[in-house]
Structure 1
């Protein structure tokens, strides 16, 4: 019988898992014997001080201790680079973002020859036909779905500006700063109602959560067409944004669960393509609707836009999400992936050192969770990073459209059509940063570059009294303010990949804080009465932009420090041959590993065949 309803896929193990007996190191327990199968592990006749929980997952890895006594896990069928840090000068490699994130074998060069698979999936492991099929499927299921989801949300968000300049201002009697006040008030709903997703995100299937939330968004977007007063309109928008508040962090959480560090930015690009496409679509649709449907059946053109947005765009996205969202590799609900492909996906994320949610998660209200969140410098570093990225976005201020209207030489239809130009050029800016950061494995440089370009745009608009061509250049480059967002979100995902519960809590916490600042900063800096010059707004954006650019260097420092602490997880075994360094080659290298013809180290064949699980005491 063909399955048509997505349910949890009960697939055991992952690709390449060895299904043989576990052997316990004789130095630890000479009297121990372990038998295992695919579903269970039994431990018999072992010492009293031996704890079964100290075994890592069988069939795939061993746990040992490095020279500092820190427990590390070595995987079977995994290459390890033995790297000597002697004589290393920090300033010679400070710019190399992936210095400790991937070993040299995994950092497949994209320059030797052009190959579409190598470009899109440089870190694929098995290179099997099944893996290639998996990667194409995941790109369609996740990448294209989130493109559609973000597009539908962006159409509605941009529709607010389009409707405002197409008659809604007059119909609902907007005055003074009502435009920016309405944006801020409705944004508060998203902030408040995304907080519960700290708990929901790793526990409940996204293929149910997101479509249900999207259905609420759709209904209240539909209701906007009936609004007869500004207060009523604000109420509908507030509730709609409440339902849509979590789609950003939820989508990034899922994307980060499937892709490697040098694949993720180009997939987040698909997500942002939806946002840019929404900006283009909204203007073109509003222009066409205003021309063709204005006052048809007694409805103003801006009201038709909300109707079409809800029924023809958002509602189909709800339906598709239920079937397309696959969950995560460890908790997969997909109708379209085979068991083998799910196992390959799990093998890939293990190779990338990504921890996805399993059946057992720590108690949400445990103090240990919140201590890890709020006492970690990572939280505050990423919080600043995300906050400045939200508040440098001149692209979404509406200033360009309001400037066009202030010229008094374009019709409403022409203004709506011209309003699509910055977003159309934004495709190129975002693609440059997204694919460039994956191609060169260097996100920070593209964050820095895009912010410098945005700073130039802001500086021109602050001066304002410039030539018409300079002003057009400034407005048409405002989308550099969002071009680095895929790089930003990829870095956040990589920082948080080790703990799914902490990842959910941190994503929502930093996103909520950042978005909350975006609710009040515009009230102070982008006052509607300052239209079309918005001098204060551009000064504020310039400050945030410069902080964003230089904060990327701070993030780079902590990112590399974090990856160095997880070097073994990334396939790199560090040592220092200088006697004064007191950091020799770890004993486990000689004891359990062997160097092969490719120059890299692997677990010895006997370990691979018997899948040793070790419990060692620090030296």
Structure 2
């Protein structure tokens, strides 16, 4: 009896396992599977490497601060926050212009590789700074050059892929965020241990040099293989039939190709609910996730060694890697709000532990590590934007740029107010900051669920849309059902 009853569960798990790793469905024509493979190799390889070195740099400034930069420049107070303020100010200002430029087919193929070259030069320069003001200036330039990379890659993915294809690739790409963070910790520990004094430079300077060495080859690779968006100058590995098939795929998925770019994009976007809900969600995400990246400051306050300070937080990154890939992939199979709720619950529990603070050290380690489950929140959110707003390419670019602009604008002042580095309420205690983070984790979850419900109501015709936007096809439910029904009864098994 138990043997019989266990079969449906085993079948469901087997079907789920197959679906997770099924990137090239057998029911696709061979030409389409070959095209998907070409796109995966070209887009994901460049995007993953590009994202990896970006987050390597973003983490380097914190690791350098606790590994000798503070002492070498006699830093005190909130100067680590000031470095981030310089970076985020430029990051915010250049988001929307960068995304709108990336929506232009002729520019899309060359923009990101070109910015990568300039970014590499600034990364090298950070290793040679002699004053704090030089580092402030370079952090501003780095933020300016990085601005279109994150949201821009989501825009690129949403221009070629749709449905489960999109979610799976967005989650896979996003793992380069925690991977860069994790590798940075090990590289900083190795630089501090093995390169300190080499060439007359401390170990923290060497990490910027290593980062720059990674960057230039990535940029050159991008000029060679990055395809931009459909309609961009044709790369060597895509044939005329590949381009025709790619355009047919976007037509079938009802992903509108870029049209004329003008001020009208602002008018029509501001009339729809999309931009308001999604920028609010991303602002909540930025505010609530800020303190979870500073486990190293807690370890330093607890008296751990420099090597431990750089290495122990990599566990968070490892969990984030699994969560960002697996959570986003499963969100292509099950309703996204379910996966979002589970991940948000872990983050709310961890934040509550930090609010209480006076808990056993082991539980505090668990709380820090559970923040890694937030890894799937961002790629699911951006994939949902790509799915819901696929009927207007310019609006989609504007929303993604505005999400980054509005969200990261809070990083200019929120850290100074709620997450100061020094003082009685400073890192890592943050008596004001942790309760605020708890509230915004909840608001993030509520905002995302609201977006899903609004879209479903919109599809049922219960709320109106602008005359020019008559349809936004494939609701979340339809995407999931179509994906699973195509897998020889997989949908019935999973729901059985």
TM-score range, shorter chain: 0.7 to 0.9
| Per-residue Cα deviation, 1:259-280 (whole angstroms, up to 9, x for no partner) | 1122212211122111111011
* Pick aligned residue for 1:407 from 280, 296, 302: 302
**CA separation of 1:118/1:473 partners in 2, compared to 1, >3 Å: closer, same or farther?**
closer
1:205 alignment counterpart = 107
2:316 alignment counterpart = 422
**CA separation of 1:118/1:169 partners in 2, compared to 1, >3 Å: closer, same or farther?**
closer
1:375 alignment counterpart = 271
| Per-residue Cα deviation, 1:501-559 (whole angstroms, up to 9, x for no partner) | 22222221222111112222222111101122123221121111011112222111112
Give the whole-Å Cα distance in 2 for the aligned partners of 1:444 and 1:354: 23
Asked whether the 8 Å contact 2:90–2:140 carries over to 1, the reply is yes
**CA separation of 1:569/1:403 partners in 2, compared to 1, >3 Å: closer, same or farther?**
closer
Give the whole-Å Cα distance in 1 for the aligned partners of 2:131 and 2:17: 58
Q: Does 1:176 align with 2:72?
A: no
* Pick aligned residue for 2:400 from 468, 483, 507: 507
Q: How many residues align?
A: 453
1:296 alignment counterpart = 198
Deviation at 1:236, TM superposition (A): 0.8
1:6 alignment counterpart = none
**CA separation of 1:198/1:161 partners in 2, compared to 1, >3 Å: closer, same or farther?**
closer
Asked whether the 8 Å contact 1:426–1:480 carries over to 2, the reply is yes
**CA separation of 1:427/1:342 partners in 2, compared to 1, >3 Å: closer, same or farther?**
same
Give the whole-Å Cα distance in 2 for the aligned partners of 1:476 and 1:384: 26
Deviation at 1:168, TM superposition (A): 0.2
Q: Which has the higher helix share?
A: 2
2:487 alignment counterpart = none
2:387 alignment counterpart = 494
Give the whole-Å Cα distance in 2 for the aligned partners of 1:345 and 1:488: 25
Deviation at 1:184, TM superposition (A): 1.6
1:524 alignment counterpart = 417
Give the whole-Å Cα distance in 1 for the aligned partners of 2:247 and 2:375: 32
Give the whole-Å Cα distance in 2 for the aligned partners of 1:567 and 1:378: 14
Asked whether the 8 Å contact 2:171–2:376 carries over to 1, the reply is no
* Pick aligned residue for 1:432 from 326, 351, 354: 326
Asked whether the 8 Å contact 1:452–1:549 carries over to 2, the reply is no
TM-score (norm 1): 0.70
Deviation at 1:347, TM superposition (A): 1.9
Asked whether the 8 Å contact 2:459–2:472 carries over to 1, the reply is no
Give the whole-Å Cα distance in 1 for the aligned partners of 2:16 and 2:155: 33
1:87-486 maps to which residues of 2 (within 5 A)?
Answer: 115=18, 119-121=22-24, 127-203=28-104, 204-311=106-213, 313-331=214-232, 333-357=234-258, 361-365=259-263, 368-394=264-290, 397-398=293-294, 400-408=295-303, 410-440=304-334, 442-486=335-379
SS in structure 2 of the partner of residue 337 of structure 1:
coil
Q: Which has the higher strand share?
A: 1
Asked whether the 8 Å contact 1:454–1:545 carries over to 2, the reply is yes
Asked whether the 8 Å contact 1:397–1:526 carries over to 2, the reply is no
**CA separation of 1:280/1:363 partners in 2, compared to 1, >3 Å: closer, same or farther?**
closer
SS in structure 1 of the partner of residue 333 of structure 2:
helix
Asked whether the 8 Å contact 1:146–1:270 carries over to 2, the reply is no
| Per-residue Cα deviation, 1:90-136 (whole angstroms, up to 9, x for no partner) | xxxxxxxxxxxxxxxxxxx99769756983255x8x72211111112
Deviation at 1:198, TM superposition (A): 4.7
Name which of structure 1's ranges 561-570 and 208-217 shifts more when overlaid on structure 2: 561-570
1:40 alignment counterpart = none
Give the whole-Å Cα distance in 1 for the aligned partners of 2:371 and 2:338: 19
Deviation at 1:305, TM superposition (A): 0.9
1:540 alignment counterpart = 436
Give the whole-Å Cα distance in 1 for the aligned partners of 2:65 and 2:366: 25
Give the whole-Å Cα distance in 1 for the aligned partners of 2:353 and 2:239: 54
Asked whether the 8 Å contact 1:184–1:523 carries over to 2, the reply is no
Deviation at 1:395, TM superposition (A): 6.2
Give the whole-Å Cα distance in 2 for the aligned partners of 1:522 and 1:201: 30
Asked whether the 8 Å contact 2:55–2:181 carries over to 1, the reply is yes
Deviation at 1:235, TM superposition (A): 0.7
Asked whether the 8 Å contact 2:108–2:232 carries over to 1, the reply is no
Deviation at 1:456, TM superposition (A): 0.2
**CA separation of 1:341/1:395 partners in 2, compared to 1, >3 Å: closer, same or farther?**
farther
Give the whole-Å Cα distance in 2 for the aligned partners of 1:194 and 1:557: 28
Asked whether the 8 Å contact 2:224–2:235 carries over to 1, the reply is yes
**CA separation of 1:341/1:220 partners in 2, compared to 1, >3 Å: closer, same or farther?**
same
Give the whole-Å Cα distance in 1 for the aligned partners of 2:473 and 2:82: 48
**CA separation of 1:144/1:562 partners in 2, compared to 1, >3 Å: closer, same or farther?**
farther
| Per-residue Cα deviation, 1:313-371 (whole angstroms, up to 9, x for no partner) | 111111111112112234353221222222222222212111122xxx33413xx3221
**CA separation of 1:349/1:470 partners in 2, compared to 1, >3 Å: closer, same or farther?**
same
**CA separation of 1:345/1:205 partners in 2, compared to 1, >3 Å: closer, same or farther?**
same
SS in structure 1 of the partner of residue 76 of structure 2:
coil
Give the whole-Å Cα distance in 1 for the aligned partners of 2:16 and 2:136: 55
